[in-house]
Structure 1
Amino acid sequence: MTGLSAYAAWRGWQAARPRGNAAVPQPAKPVDLARYAGRWYEWARYENRFEQGCERVTAEYRPARDGTLRVINTCGCRPDDPSAHRTEGRAKVRPGTGNAKLKVSFFGPFYVGNYWVLDHDDDYRWSIVGEPSGRYLWLLTRDATPDEHTVAVMMARVVAMGYDTTLLRLTMQ
């Protein structure tokens, strides 16, 4: 498959995905990258091709000397499988966005995606991440199993932002 035909196949798959929000909001507040850094657990997501079958999903953000963030995503595909898939990338802040909009690249320059921190807890205990198409959404927490209050607050924010919560897939940790 040539690069052009692979891209066309990806675009076709992308267009077929349901849009969970036709009017994605701008990020609610700026992001302190030093406080955002560290490990996050994926509590829920809109299912996507690159995480298909993933459970025990984490994302770790580490500041790099060049001003970017190192991104380390892990996925354990089966609950009884001690091994995990690991993908590393880089995130670069888009200027003038209060650090809330980033461009993330994985696999070298071959995949660059939007990463918008749409909202987060003042203490950085939870974060809601999306992108402009409304086809991707992640609900992240600092705890592998967040308490009911944290979940209720995140879900209320997701609904208030106009996202279809029926498309959310809970991630087993």
Structure 2
Amino acid sequence: MKSVLIGIALLFAACSAWGADRLSELKTVDSVDVARYMGSWYEIAKYPQWFENGLVGVTANYTLLPNGKVRVLNSGYIKDFNGKLKTAKGKAWIVDKKTNAKLKVSFFWPFAGNYWILELGKDYEYAVVGDNSGKYLWILAREPRMDDVLYSELLKRIQEKGFDISKLEKNPQQI
């Protein structure tokens, strides 16, 4: 587990350092109500990352702390839903107080990576998260499945932002 946490931390550090401006004009959503964003999210699709290799049923849970930071708990099952549950605990903090749409996330201090909210449903039923490196992208939802029409529309918008949607992989979720 320690190696997973270290790997995530190194990944986020690399994300921040290399290719940080590939999508220099990338825009986030205009505003995020942090309290509404908290809670459980299911990973619907993602750019493959070595720290998630072999994981299914990946979820993220965000909890607002009294100091304004966010506790992050990511989890997923190894190979299948009967596999061992792996978790990674971290903290996030808002770096763009005007919109609340740009955060930093750290799983291993002092390393931190960008967490930009690029798309967000009006009822906070889905989110697209990435950053301007163009190397990291996640589609998240409050439910384990996403409507095919909505998913297709998000793919179109993601592609318009400059991301290569052919790299996206769906993550199996337990219903």
Fold conserved between structures, TM > 0.5: yes
Q: Give runs of ≥4 in structure 1 deviating > 3 Å.
A: 21-24
Structure 1, residues 75-128: CA drift from partner, whole Å, max 9, x if none? 112224253101111100004441100011103x14311100011111111100
1:88, 1:59 → 2: CA distance?
10
2:170, 2:143 → 1: CA distance?
14
Provide the secondary structure at the position in 2 that maps to 1:34. helix
Q: 1:96 to 1:66 in 2, by over 3 A?
A: closer
Correspondence for 2:67: 66
State the Cα RMSD in Å: 2.6
Residue 126 of structure 1 contacts residue 150 of structure 1 at CA under 8 Å; is this kept in 2?
Answer: no
Taking only the aligned residue pairs, the percentage that are identical comes to: 34
Q: 1:162 to 1:57 in 2, by over 3 A?
A: same
The structure that has the greater radius of gyration is 1
Residue 29 of structure 2 contacts residue 99 of structure 2 at CA under 8 Å; is this kept in 1?
Answer: no
Please show how residues 87-106 of structure 1 align to structure 2 within 5 Å. 87-106=88-107
Give, in angstroms, the shift of residue 52 of structure 1.
1.5
Correspondence for 2:163: 163
Please show how residues 45-64 of structure 1 align to structure 2 within 5 Å. 45-64=46-65
Structure 1, residues 147-173: CA drift from partner, whole Å, max 9, x if none? 223212321221221211101011111
Residue ranges of structure 2 left out of the alignment (5+ in a row)? 1-6
Is 1:85 the counterpart of 2:86? The answer is yes
Q: 1:32 to 1:143 in 2, by over 3 A?
A: same
Residue 77 of structure 2 contacts residue 83 of structure 2 at CA under 8 Å; is this kept in 1?
Answer: yes
Residue ranges of structure 1 left out of the alignment (5+ in a row)? 1-5
Correspondence for 1:126: 126
Correspondence for 1:3: none
The TM-score normalised by the length of structure 1 is: 0.83
Q: 1:79 to 1:66 in 2, by over 3 A?
A: same
Residue 24 of structure 1 contacts residue 131 of structure 1 at CA under 8 Å; is this kept in 2?
Answer: no
Provide the secondary structure at the position in 1 that maps to 2:150. helix
Correspondence for 1:27: 28
Please show how residues 144-163 of structure 1 align to structure 2 within 5 Å. 144-163=144-163
